[in-house]
Chains A and B, each alone.
Chain A
Protein backbone atom coordinates (compact mmCIF):
# COMPACT_ATOMS: atom_id res chain seq x y z
CA UNK A 1 0.00 0.00 0.00
CA UNK A 2 2.74 2.45 1.02
CA UNK A 3 4.89 1.39 -1.93
CA UNK A 4 1.93 1.91 -4.22
CA UNK A 5 1.33 5.41 -2.79
CA UNK A 6 5.00 6.32 -3.12
CA UNK A 7 5.04 5.01 -6.68
CA UNK A 8 2.04 7.18 -7.59
CA UNK A 9 3.59 10.19 -5.87
CA UNK A 10 6.80 9.65 -7.79
CA UNK A 11 4.92 9.42 -11.10
CA UNK A 12 2.93 12.57 -10.29
CA UNK A 13 6.02 14.44 -9.10
CA UNK A 14 7.92 13.54 -12.28
CA UNK A 15 4.91 14.49 -14.36
CA UNK A 16 4.62 17.89 -12.68
CA UNK A 17 8.33 18.60 -12.96
CA UNK A 18 8.45 17.57 -16.63
CA UNK A 19 5.31 19.47 -17.51
CA UNK A 20 6.14 22.65 -15.70
CA UNK A 21 9.90 22.74 -16.20
CA UNK A 22 9.59 25.61 -18.64
CA UNK A 23 7.86 27.73 -16.03
CA UNK A 24 9.79 26.48 -13.02
CA UNK A 25 13.29 26.74 -14.52
CA UNK A 26 13.16 30.48 -15.31
CA UNK A 27 11.66 31.13 -11.87
CA UNK A 28 14.49 29.18 -10.22
CA UNK A 29 17.10 30.93 -12.39
CA UNK A 30 15.78 34.38 -11.47
CA UNK A 31 15.68 33.28 -7.84
CA UNK A 32 19.29 32.02 -8.08
CA UNK A 33 20.47 35.22 -9.79
CA UNK A 34 18.91 37.29 -7.02
CA UNK A 35 20.44 35.03 -4.38
CA UNK A 36 23.93 35.68 -5.82
CA UNK A 37 23.37 39.38 -5.14
CA UNK A 38 21.45 38.85 -1.91
CA UNK A 39 24.10 36.74 -0.12
CA UNK A 40 26.67 39.45 -0.84
CA UNK A 41 24.65 42.22 0.78
CA UNK A 42 22.84 40.50 3.66
CA UNK A 43 24.66 39.34 6.73
CA UNK A 44 21.64 38.49 8.88
CA UNK A 45 20.90 34.80 8.55
CA UNK A 46 17.31 35.15 9.83
CA UNK A 47 16.45 37.91 7.38
CA UNK A 48 17.94 35.85 4.52
CA UNK A 49 15.95 32.83 5.68
CA UNK A 50 12.61 34.64 5.91
CA UNK A 51 12.97 36.36 2.54
CA UNK A 52 14.22 33.20 0.80
CA UNK A 53 11.45 31.02 2.23
CA UNK A 54 8.72 33.46 1.22
CA UNK A 55 10.06 33.67 -2.34
CA UNK A 56 10.46 29.89 -2.66
CA UNK A 57 7.00 29.19 -1.36
CA UNK A 58 5.20 31.42 -3.84
CA UNK A 59 6.83 29.59 -6.78
CA UNK A 60 5.14 26.35 -5.71
CA UNK A 61 1.75 27.51 -7.00
CA UNK A 62 3.10 27.51 -10.58
CA UNK A 63 2.09 23.89 -11.40
CA UNK A 64 -1.40 24.37 -9.94
CA UNK A 65 -1.92 27.55 -11.92
CA UNK A 66 -0.67 26.07 -15.15
CA UNK A 67 -3.09 23.13 -14.85
CA UNK A 68 -5.92 25.66 -14.74
CA UNK A 69 -4.42 27.86 -17.45
CA UNK A 70 -4.06 25.03 -20.00
CA UNK A 71 -7.31 23.30 -19.07
CA UNK A 72 -5.47 20.07 -18.32
CA UNK A 73 -6.90 19.53 -14.85
CA UNK A 74 -10.03 17.95 -16.28
CA UNK A 75 -7.91 15.54 -18.26
CA UNK A 76 -5.69 14.81 -15.23
CA UNK A 77 -8.83 13.77 -13.39
CA UNK A 78 -9.58 11.11 -16.00
CA UNK A 79 -6.25 9.38 -15.32
CA UNK A 80 -6.39 6.27 -13.14
CA UNK A 81 -5.53 8.16 -10.00
CA UNK A 82 -7.86 9.55 -7.37
CA UNK A 83 -8.24 13.24 -6.61
CA UNK A 84 -6.47 12.53 -3.33
CA UNK A 85 -3.50 11.17 -5.32
CA UNK A 86 -3.46 14.27 -7.53
CA UNK A 87 -3.60 16.64 -4.57
CA UNK A 88 -0.93 14.73 -2.68
CA UNK A 89 1.17 14.90 -5.86
CA UNK A 90 0.81 18.71 -5.86
CA UNK A 91 1.97 18.89 -2.24
CA UNK A 92 4.90 16.57 -2.95
CA UNK A 93 5.85 18.70 -5.96
CA UNK A 94 5.53 21.88 -3.88
CA UNK A 95 7.83 20.51 -1.17
CA UNK A 96 10.27 19.07 -3.71
CA UNK A 97 10.44 22.50 -5.38
CA UNK A 98 10.98 24.23 -2.04
CA UNK A 99 13.69 21.81 -0.93
CA UNK A 100 15.40 22.00 -4.33
CA UNK A 101 15.42 25.81 -4.27
CA UNK A 102 16.61 25.85 -0.66
CA UNK A 103 19.56 23.63 -1.60
CA UNK A 104 20.37 25.99 -4.50
CA UNK A 105 20.16 28.99 -2.15
CA UNK A 106 22.38 27.29 0.46
CA UNK A 107 24.92 26.31 -2.19
CA UNK A 108 25.05 29.91 -3.43
CA UNK A 109 25.43 31.23 0.11
CA UNK A 110 28.37 28.86 0.55
CA UNK A 111 30.03 29.21 -2.83
CA UNK A 112 29.48 32.77 -4.07
CA UNK A 113 32.70 34.73 -3.58
CA UNK A 114 32.03 37.61 -1.22
CA UNK A 115 29.04 35.90 0.40
CA UNK A 116 28.43 37.30 3.88
CA UNK A 117 26.65 34.14 5.00
CA UNK A 118 28.00 30.72 5.76
CA UNK A 119 26.17 27.39 5.56
CA UNK A 120 26.96 26.87 9.24
CA UNK A 121 24.92 29.98 10.12
CA UNK A 122 21.94 28.70 8.15
CA UNK A 123 21.92 25.01 8.97
CA UNK A 124 21.42 25.15 12.71
CA UNK A 125 18.35 23.16 13.92
CA UNK A 126 16.64 26.39 15.03
CA UNK A 127 17.04 28.06 11.67
CA UNK A 128 15.96 24.93 9.81
CA UNK A 129 12.85 24.83 12.01
CA UNK A 130 12.24 28.49 11.28
CA UNK A 131 12.61 27.83 7.54
CA UNK A 132 10.28 24.85 7.83
CA UNK A 133 7.83 26.90 9.86
CA UNK A 134 7.67 29.84 7.43
CA UNK A 135 7.39 27.53 4.42
CA UNK A 136 4.77 25.34 6.06
CA UNK A 137 2.53 28.19 7.15
CA UNK A 138 2.65 30.01 3.82
CA UNK A 139 2.12 26.78 1.88
CA UNK A 140 -0.65 25.77 4.26
CA UNK A 141 -2.53 28.96 3.41
CA UNK A 142 -1.49 29.39 -0.21
CA UNK A 143 -2.19 25.94 -1.65
CA UNK A 144 -5.78 25.55 -0.39
CA UNK A 145 -6.45 29.16 -1.40
CA UNK A 146 -5.10 28.48 -4.91
CA UNK A 147 -7.08 25.25 -5.21
CA UNK A 148 -10.25 27.08 -4.17
CA UNK A 149 -9.87 30.39 -5.99
CA UNK A 150 -7.25 29.72 -8.69
CA UNK A 151 -4.41 31.93 -9.84
CA UNK A 152 -6.64 34.97 -10.21
CA UNK A 153 -7.72 34.48 -6.63
CA UNK A 154 -4.09 34.59 -5.47
CA UNK A 155 -3.46 37.71 -7.56
CA UNK A 156 -6.57 39.35 -6.15
CA UNK A 157 -5.52 38.48 -2.62
CA UNK A 158 -2.08 40.00 -3.17
CA UNK A 159 -3.61 43.16 -4.66
CA UNK A 160 -6.11 43.44 -1.79
CA UNK A 161 -3.30 42.97 0.76
CA UNK A 162 -1.23 45.67 -0.99
CA UNK A 163 -4.16 48.10 -1.01
CA UNK A 164 -4.98 47.27 2.60
CA UNK A 165 -1.35 47.80 3.58
CA UNK A 166 -1.16 51.12 1.74
CA UNK A 167 -4.48 52.28 3.25
CA UNK A 168 -3.35 51.38 6.76
CA UNK A 169 -0.06 53.18 6.19
CA UNK A 170 -1.88 56.33 5.03
CA UNK A 171 -4.31 56.18 7.96
CA UNK A 172 -1.48 55.59 10.43
CA UNK A 173 0.54 58.46 8.97
CA UNK A 174 -2.34 60.90 8.91
CA UNK A 175 -3.59 60.10 12.37
CA UNK A 176 -0.09 59.77 13.85
CA UNK A 177 -0.86 56.28 15.14
CA UNK A 178 1.91 54.43 13.31
CA UNK A 179 3.01 52.55 16.43
CA UNK A 180 -0.51 51.37 17.21
CA UNK A 181 -1.06 50.14 13.65
CA UNK A 182 2.32 48.41 13.53
CA UNK A 183 1.64 46.88 16.92
CA UNK A 184 -1.77 45.65 15.80
CA UNK A 185 -0.32 43.94 12.74
CA UNK A 186 2.62 42.47 14.60
CA UNK A 187 0.63 41.34 17.65
CA UNK A 188 -0.42 37.88 16.37
CA UNK A 189 3.12 37.19 15.16
CA UNK A 190 4.59 38.33 18.47
CA UNK A 191 2.09 36.19 20.37
CA UNK A 192 3.03 33.19 18.24
CA UNK A 193 6.74 33.86 18.73
CA UNK A 194 6.40 34.25 22.50
CA UNK A 195 4.39 31.04 22.65
CA UNK A 196 7.16 29.22 20.82
CA UNK A 197 9.79 30.78 23.09
CA UNK A 198 7.82 29.80 26.19
CA UNK A 199 7.52 26.25 24.91
CA UNK A 200 11.22 26.15 24.23
CA UNK A 201 11.99 27.27 27.77
CA UNK A 202 9.64 24.67 29.21
CA UNK A 203 10.63 21.61 27.19
CA UNK A 204 14.02 19.99 26.80
CA UNK A 205 15.59 21.05 23.48
CA UNK A 206 15.11 17.77 21.65
CA UNK A 207 11.49 17.49 22.84
CA UNK A 208 10.85 21.07 21.72
CA UNK A 209 12.33 20.39 18.29
CA UNK A 210 10.31 17.20 17.87
CA UNK A 211 7.16 19.00 19.04
CA UNK A 212 7.74 21.78 16.49
CA UNK A 213 8.35 19.23 13.77
CA UNK A 214 5.12 17.48 14.71
CA UNK A 215 3.22 20.79 14.57
CA UNK A 216 4.61 21.49 11.09
CA UNK A 217 3.62 18.03 9.89
CA UNK A 218 0.12 18.45 11.33
CA UNK A 219 -0.30 21.88 9.73
CA UNK A 220 0.78 20.42 6.39
CA UNK A 221 -1.62 17.53 6.78
CA UNK A 222 -4.49 19.86 7.72
CA UNK A 223 -3.70 22.06 4.73
CA UNK A 224 -3.68 19.01 2.44
CA UNK A 225 -7.03 17.85 3.82
CA UNK A 226 -8.58 21.30 3.25
CA UNK A 227 -7.20 21.44 -0.31
CA UNK A 228 -8.50 17.94 -0.97
CA UNK A 229 -11.94 18.77 0.42
CA UNK A 230 -12.13 21.75 -1.99
CA UNK A 231 -10.79 19.70 -4.88
CA UNK A 232 -13.22 16.84 -4.28
CA UNK A 233 -16.16 19.23 -4.32
CA UNK A 234 -15.03 20.83 -7.53
CA UNK A 235 -17.00 20.05 -10.69
CA UNK A 236 -14.74 19.95 -13.74
Chain B
Protein backbone atom coordinates (compact mmCIF):
# COMPACT_ATOMS: atom_id res chain seq x y z
CA UNK B 1 0.00 0.00 0.00
CA UNK B 2 1.24 3.49 -0.74
CA UNK B 3 -0.12 6.97 -0.27
CA UNK B 4 -1.74 6.93 -3.68
CA UNK B 5 -3.79 3.78 -3.34
CA UNK B 6 -5.20 4.03 0.16
CA UNK B 7 -2.36 4.97 2.47
CA UNK B 8 -2.42 8.57 3.63
CA UNK B 9 1.19 8.60 4.58
CA UNK B 10 4.08 6.41 3.57
CA UNK B 11 7.51 6.94 5.10
CA UNK B 12 10.45 4.99 3.68
CA UNK B 13 14.03 4.90 4.92
CA UNK B 14 13.80 8.28 6.60
CA UNK B 15 17.12 9.53 7.96
CA UNK B 16 18.22 12.60 9.89
CA UNK B 17 21.66 13.00 11.38
CA UNK B 18 22.58 15.19 14.35
CA UNK B 19 25.77 15.18 16.33
CA UNK B 20 25.12 12.54 18.99
CA UNK B 21 21.79 11.34 17.59
CA UNK B 22 20.60 9.97 14.32
CA UNK B 23 17.29 8.83 12.97
CA UNK B 24 17.96 5.92 10.63
CA UNK B 25 15.86 4.06 8.14
CA UNK B 26 12.48 4.93 9.63
CA UNK B 27 9.68 3.35 7.59
CA UNK B 28 5.96 2.96 8.18
CA UNK B 29 2.64 3.35 6.38
CA UNK B 30 -0.50 4.90 7.79
CA UNK B 31 -3.64 3.72 5.96
CA UNK B 32 -6.47 6.16 5.34
CA UNK B 33 -9.00 6.48 8.17
CA UNK B 34 -6.85 4.88 10.86
CA UNK B 35 -5.04 6.06 13.95
CA UNK B 36 -1.35 5.33 14.36
CA UNK B 37 0.49 5.84 17.61
CA UNK B 38 4.19 6.61 17.42
CA UNK B 39 5.64 5.51 20.70
CA UNK B 40 9.09 5.51 22.19
CA UNK B 41 11.10 6.76 25.14
CA UNK B 42 11.98 10.43 25.45
CA UNK B 43 14.68 11.29 22.92
CA UNK B 44 13.95 8.27 20.74
CA UNK B 45 13.17 10.32 17.61
CA UNK B 46 9.38 10.69 17.69
CA UNK B 47 9.33 14.48 17.42
CA UNK B 48 12.11 14.43 14.83
CA UNK B 49 10.04 12.03 12.72
CA UNK B 50 6.94 14.21 12.98
CA UNK B 51 8.91 17.36 12.20
CA UNK B 52 10.39 15.70 9.13
CA UNK B 53 6.87 14.84 7.97
CA UNK B 54 5.84 18.46 8.51
CA UNK B 55 8.87 19.74 6.62
CA UNK B 56 10.19 21.62 9.65
CA UNK B 57 13.44 19.67 9.39
CA UNK B 58 15.39 18.80 6.27
CA UNK B 59 15.77 15.08 5.82
CA UNK B 60 19.14 13.53 5.11
CA UNK B 61 17.71 10.51 3.37
CA UNK B 62 14.58 8.54 2.59
CA UNK B 63 11.20 9.49 1.18
CA UNK B 64 7.91 10.77 2.53
CA UNK B 65 4.77 10.34 0.48
CA UNK B 66 1.69 12.14 1.79
CA UNK B 67 -1.46 11.82 -0.34
CA UNK B 68 0.86 10.94 -3.23
CA UNK B 69 2.84 14.16 -2.76
CA UNK B 70 6.29 14.91 -1.38
CA UNK B 71 6.07 17.40 1.51
CA UNK B 72 9.57 18.70 0.72
CA UNK B 73 8.64 19.57 -2.87
CA UNK B 74 4.92 20.34 -2.61
CA UNK B 75 4.86 21.75 0.89
CA UNK B 76 1.86 24.04 0.64
CA UNK B 77 -0.39 21.44 -1.03
CA UNK B 78 0.54 18.84 1.58
CA UNK B 79 0.19 21.20 4.54
CA UNK B 80 -3.24 22.35 3.41
CA UNK B 81 -4.38 18.75 3.95
CA UNK B 82 -2.61 18.16 7.27
CA UNK B 83 -3.54 19.50 10.68
CA UNK B 84 -0.75 19.84 13.22
CA UNK B 85 -0.93 19.87 16.99
CA UNK B 86 2.43 20.43 18.63
CA UNK B 87 3.33 19.36 22.13
CA UNK B 88 3.67 23.01 23.13
CA UNK B 89 1.29 24.84 20.80
CA UNK B 90 2.70 28.20 19.76
CA UNK B 91 0.06 30.65 18.65
CA UNK B 92 0.01 34.37 19.15
CA UNK B 93 -0.20 34.90 22.88
CA UNK B 94 -1.54 38.42 22.72
CA UNK B 95 -4.44 37.57 20.41
CA UNK B 96 -7.73 36.01 21.50
CA UNK B 97 -8.63 32.54 20.28
CA UNK B 98 -11.15 34.04 17.85
CA UNK B 99 -8.48 36.40 16.45
CA UNK B 100 -5.95 33.57 16.16
CA UNK B 101 -8.52 31.45 14.35
CA UNK B 102 -9.40 34.31 11.98
CA UNK B 103 -5.73 34.70 11.07
CA UNK B 104 -5.29 30.99 10.44
CA UNK B 105 -8.56 30.70 8.48
CA UNK B 106 -7.27 32.98 5.68
CA UNK B 107 -4.61 30.44 4.77
CA UNK B 108 -7.02 27.59 4.08
CA UNK B 109 -9.30 27.44 1.07
CA UNK B 110 -11.58 24.87 2.70
CA UNK B 111 -11.79 26.50 6.12
CA UNK B 112 -15.05 25.63 7.83
CA UNK B 113 -15.98 28.43 10.21
CA UNK B 114 -19.11 26.68 11.45
CA UNK B 115 -17.01 23.59 12.02
CA UNK B 116 -14.54 25.61 14.05
CA UNK B 117 -17.35 27.05 16.23
CA UNK B 118 -18.73 23.55 16.69
CA UNK B 119 -15.37 22.14 17.78
CA UNK B 120 -14.74 25.15 20.01
CA UNK B 121 -18.12 24.57 21.68
CA UNK B 122 -17.41 20.86 22.08
CA UNK B 123 -14.06 21.65 23.70
CA UNK B 124 -15.61 24.49 25.75
CA UNK B 125 -12.99 26.89 24.51
CA UNK B 126 -13.30 30.53 25.64
CA UNK B 127 -12.95 32.25 22.25
CA UNK B 128 -12.77 35.74 23.76
CA UNK B 129 -9.79 34.80 25.94
CA UNK B 130 -6.20 35.49 24.92
CA UNK B 131 -4.22 32.44 23.88
CA UNK B 132 -1.49 33.23 26.42
CA UNK B 133 -4.03 32.95 29.26
CA UNK B 134 -5.08 29.38 28.44
CA UNK B 135 -4.12 26.26 30.34
CA UNK B 136 -1.91 23.71 28.58
CA UNK B 137 -4.92 21.47 28.01
CA UNK B 138 -6.98 24.22 26.43
CA UNK B 139 -4.04 25.24 24.22
CA UNK B 140 -3.90 21.67 22.92
CA UNK B 141 -7.67 21.63 22.39
CA UNK B 142 -7.52 24.93 20.53
CA UNK B 143 -4.77 23.61 18.27
CA UNK B 144 -6.87 20.52 17.65
CA UNK B 145 -9.99 22.58 16.88
CA UNK B 146 -7.98 24.54 14.30
CA UNK B 147 -6.52 21.37 12.81
CA UNK B 148 -9.99 19.88 12.38
CA UNK B 149 -11.58 23.03 11.01
CA UNK B 150 -9.81 23.01 7.67
CA UNK B 151 -10.99 19.47 7.06
CA UNK B 152 -7.53 17.98 7.44
CA UNK B 153 -7.24 14.50 5.98
CA UNK B 154 -4.33 13.74 8.27
CA UNK B 155 -3.93 15.08 11.79
CA UNK B 156 -0.44 14.91 13.25
CA UNK B 157 -0.21 15.35 17.01
CA UNK B 158 3.03 15.51 18.95
CA UNK B 159 2.54 14.33 22.54
CA UNK B 160 -0.97 15.84 22.74
CA UNK B 161 -1.69 14.30 26.14
CA UNK B 162 1.59 14.98 27.91
CA UNK B 163 1.22 17.23 30.90
CA UNK B 164 -2.55 16.71 31.06
CA UNK B 165 -4.28 15.25 34.09
CA UNK B 166 -5.79 11.76 33.59
CA UNK B 167 -9.42 12.93 33.42
CA UNK B 168 -8.63 15.65 30.92
CA UNK B 169 -6.50 13.20 28.94
CA UNK B 170 -9.26 10.62 28.75
CA UNK B 171 -11.72 13.33 27.76
CA UNK B 172 -9.39 14.56 25.02
CA UNK B 173 -8.82 11.08 23.61
CA UNK B 174 -12.56 10.33 23.59
CA UNK B 175 -13.29 13.58 21.82
CA UNK B 176 -10.47 12.93 19.39
CA UNK B 177 -11.81 9.50 18.50
CA UNK B 178 -15.39 10.73 18.10
CA UNK B 179 -14.45 13.75 16.07
CA UNK B 180 -12.14 11.87 13.81
CA UNK B 181 -14.74 9.20 13.16
CA UNK B 182 -17.03 11.98 11.98
CA UNK B 183 -14.30 13.69 9.97
CA UNK B 184 -12.95 10.45 8.45
CA UNK B 185 -9.43 11.72 8.98
CA UNK B 186 -6.33 9.70 9.76
CA UNK B 187 -4.27 10.44 12.83
CA UNK B 188 -0.60 10.07 13.55
CA UNK B 189 0.25 10.88 17.10
CA UNK B 190 3.32 10.48 19.23
CA UNK B 191 3.19 9.65 22.87
CA UNK B 192 5.16 7.93 25.57
CA UNK B 193 1.95 6.91 27.35
CA UNK B 194 1.00 3.37 26.31
CA UNK B 195 -2.47 3.56 27.86
CA UNK B 196 -3.37 6.27 25.31
CA UNK B 197 -2.48 3.87 22.53
CA UNK B 198 -4.47 1.01 24.08
CA UNK B 199 -7.51 3.27 24.01
CA UNK B 200 -7.47 4.66 20.50
CA UNK B 201 -4.66 3.43 18.24
CA UNK B 202 -5.21 1.02 15.33
CA UNK B 203 -1.54 0.85 14.40
CA UNK B 204 1.53 1.22 16.56
CA UNK B 205 5.03 2.18 15.56
CA UNK B 206 7.67 1.77 18.23
CA UNK B 207 10.82 3.80 17.83
CA UNK B 208 13.94 3.58 19.94
CA UNK B 209 17.30 5.29 19.55
CA UNK B 210 16.19 6.62 16.17
CA UNK B 211 15.28 3.23 14.74
CA UNK B 212 11.97 1.48 14.23
CA UNK B 213 11.55 -1.54 16.52
CA UNK B 214 8.24 -2.51 14.92
CA UNK B 215 5.34 -0.99 13.06
CA UNK B 216 2.17 -3.07 12.91
CA UNK B 217 -1.54 -3.24 13.71
CA UNK B 218 -2.19 -3.08 17.45
CA UNK B 219 -4.23 -6.32 17.48
CA UNK B 220 -1.48 -8.12 15.58
CA UNK B 221 1.08 -6.92 18.12
CA UNK B 222 -1.04 -7.99 21.06
CA UNK B 223 -1.67 -11.41 19.51
CA UNK B 224 1.95 -11.97 18.55
CA UNK B 225 3.70 -10.98 21.75
CA UNK B 226 3.42 -12.85 25.04
CA UNK B 227 4.88 -12.85 28.51
CA UNK B 228 6.61 -16.01 29.59
CA UNK B 229 7.02 -16.66 33.34
CA UNK B 230 8.99 -19.48 34.90
CA UNK B 231 11.80 -20.58 37.17
CA UNK B 232 15.34 -19.34 36.71
CA UNK B 233 16.64 -22.86 36.08
CA UNK B 234 14.76 -22.94 32.78
CA UNK B 235 16.92 -20.18 31.38
CA UNK B 236 20.19 -22.10 31.55
CA UNK B 237 19.85 -24.07 28.27
CA UNK B 238 18.45 -21.11 26.32
CA UNK B 239 20.61 -18.81 24.19
CA UNK B 240 20.97 -15.31 25.70
CA UNK B 241 18.91 -13.67 22.93
CA UNK B 242 16.10 -16.22 23.05
CA UNK B 243 13.69 -13.67 24.49
CA UNK B 244 13.17 -10.10 23.31
CA UNK B 245 13.52 -8.86 26.85
CA UNK B 246 13.87 -10.45 30.24
CA UNK B 247 13.57 -9.60 33.92
CA UNK B 248 15.06 -11.87 36.51
CA UNK B 249 13.72 -11.97 40.06
CA UNK B 250 14.75 -13.93 43.16
CA UNK B 251 12.36 -16.77 42.36
CA UNK B 252 11.95 -16.68 38.63
CA UNK B 253 11.98 -14.75 35.41
CA UNK B 254 9.51 -12.89 33.28
CA UNK B 255 10.33 -12.49 29.61
CA UNK B 256 8.81 -11.23 26.40
CA UNK B 257 8.59 -13.34 23.27
CA UNK B 258 7.23 -12.72 19.79
CA UNK B 259 7.08 -16.44 19.04
CA UNK B 260 4.66 -18.06 21.47
CA UNK B 261 4.58 -21.38 19.61
CA UNK B 262 8.35 -21.78 19.79
CA UNK B 263 8.40 -20.90 23.49
CA UNK B 264 5.67 -23.44 24.18
CA UNK B 265 7.52 -26.13 22.24
CA UNK B 266 10.80 -25.40 23.97
CA UNK B 267 9.58 -24.87 27.52
CA UNK B 268 6.34 -26.86 27.59
CA UNK B 269 4.14 -26.65 30.65
CA UNK B 270 6.94 -25.60 32.94
CA UNK B 271 6.20 -21.95 32.17
CA UNK B 272 3.14 -19.77 32.28
CA UNK B 273 2.44 -17.86 29.09
CA UNK B 274 0.22 -14.78 29.36
CA UNK B 275 -0.88 -12.24 26.82
CA UNK B 276 1.40 -9.23 26.88
CA UNK B 277 0.00 -5.77 27.26
CA UNK B 278 1.27 -2.96 25.12
CA UNK B 279 3.06 -1.65 28.16
CA UNK B 280 4.90 -4.98 28.52
CA UNK B 281 5.88 -5.00 24.85
CA UNK B 282 7.27 -1.50 25.02
CA UNK B 283 8.91 -2.01 28.39
CA UNK B 284 10.71 -5.21 27.42
CA UNK B 285 11.66 -4.27 23.89
CA UNK B 286 13.09 -0.90 24.85
CA UNK B 287 14.23 -1.79 28.34
CA UNK B 288 12.76 1.51 29.41
CA UNK B 289 10.76 2.24 32.51
CA UNK B 290 9.72 5.64 31.26
CA UNK B 291 6.13 4.67 30.52
CA UNK B 292 2.91 5.37 32.35
Contacts and interface: CB of A to CB of B under 8 A. Distances in A.
Interface of A: 11, 14-15, 18-19, 22, 70-72, 74-75, 77-83, 85, 232-233, 235-236
B154 to A, nearest CB: 12
B103 A235 contact: no
B4 to A, nearest CB: 20
Interface stretch (B20-28, B75-83, B282-290): B75-83
Interface stretch (B49-57, B160-168, B200-208, B216-224): B49-57
Interface in B61-93: 75-77, 79-80, 82, 84, 86, 88-93
Interface of B: 51, 54-58, 75-77, 79-80, 82, 84, 86, 88-95, 99, 103-104, 106-108
A184 to B, nearest CB: 41
A14 B82 CA distance: 23
Given A15-B106, A82-B76, A77 B56 contact: yes
5 contacts: A11-B107, A18-B99, A75-B90, A78-B79, A236-B57
A85 B91 contact: no
Given A19-B103, A79-B104, A82-B75, A72 B92 contact: yes
A71 to B, nearest CB: 5
Contact of A80 (B58, B76, B93): B76
A72 B56 CA distance: 12
Contacts of B99: 18
A18 B95 CA distance: 9
A66 to B, nearest CB: 9
Contact of B92 (A70, A82, A232): A70
Given A22-B94, A82-B76, A74 B56 contact: yes
A74 B86 contact: yes
Contact of A79 (B79, B86, B88, B95): B79
A85 B93 CA distance: 23
A11 B105 CA distance: 10
B108 to A, nearest CB: 6
Contacts of B92: 19, 70, 72
A15 B103 contact: yes
Contacts of B79: 78-81
Contacts of A18: 95, 99, 103
Contact of B56 (A19, A81, A85, A236): A236
Given A19-B92, A70-B92, A235-B56, A80 B103 contact: no
Contact of B84 (A22, A70, A78): A78
A70 B93 contact: yes
Given A18-B95, A78-B56, 16 more contacts: A11-B106, A18-B103, A19-B95, A70-B90, A70-B93, A74-B56, A74-B90, A75-B86, A75-B89, A77-B54, A81-B76, A85-B76, A235-B56, A235-B58, A236-B51, A236-B57
Nearest to B16: A235
A83 B90 contact: no
Nearest to B18: A235
Nearest to A79: B107
B208 to A, nearest CB: 22
A82 B58 CA distance: 14
Contacts of A72: 90-92
B97 to A, nearest CB: 15
A77 B91 CA distance: 12
Contacts of A70: 90, 92-93
Counting from the closest, the 6 A-B pairs by CB-CB distance are A80-B80, A80-B79, A236-B56, A71-B90, A78-B84, A80-B76
Contacts of A19: 92, 95, 103
B107 A80 contact: yes
A219 to B, nearest CB: 28
A8 B91 CA distance: 20
Given A81-B107, A236-B56, A75 B75 contact: no
A233 B90 contact: no
A92 to B, nearest CB: 15
A80 B77 contact: yes
A79 B75 CA distance: 9
Contacts of A232: 58
Nearest to A236: B56
